Amino acid sequence: QSALTQPASVPGSPGQSITISCTGTSSDVGAFDYVSWYQQHPGRAPKLMIYDVTKRPSGVSNRFSGSKSGNTASLTISGLQAEDEADYYCISYTSSSTLWVFGGGTKLTVL
């Protein structure tokens, strides 16, 4: 069982917006602004999409945005495109000795 809770799957249609949640605790998501999101296509390495809750690395589309409220972080993808279909993982820095906790991943399906 993963330390951070994500929905197993989220459906979306081209052009729509979807939000993926990532729920942790006051020791990780709620304690630090160090939540990051990763996109992983089948057979590929994860790619950083959002870091420090809201920041986008250079080259990542502005259709991707992040936010946080309390112990829950969220990734929003607007203007869904077929290429957005992938698995998405959240990671948070934590005060425990393990340093980071991972979400179980969310499969985004673009119908």
Partner 1 sequence: EVQVVESGGGLVQPGGSLRLSCAASGFTFSSYAMSWVRQAPGKGLEWVSAISGSGASTYYADSVKGRFTISRDNSKNTVYVQMNSLRAEDTAIYYCAKALLHWGAFDIWGRGTMVTVSS
Which residues are near partner 1 by CB under 8 A? Answer: 2, 32-34, 36, 38, 40, 45-48, 51-52, 57, 87, 89, 91, 93, 97-105
d(CA 95, CA 44) in angstroms, rounded, equals 30
Pairing assessment for the beta strands 64-69 and 106-110 based on DSSP bridges: unpaired
Q: Which is nearer to partner 1, 59 or 62 (CB)?
A: 59
d(CA 66, CA 92) in angstroms, rounded, equals 13
Residue 81 tokens, joined: 């495109």
Closest distance to partner 1 from the beta carbon of 32 (Å): 7
Closest distance to partner 1 from the beta carbon of 105 (Å): 4
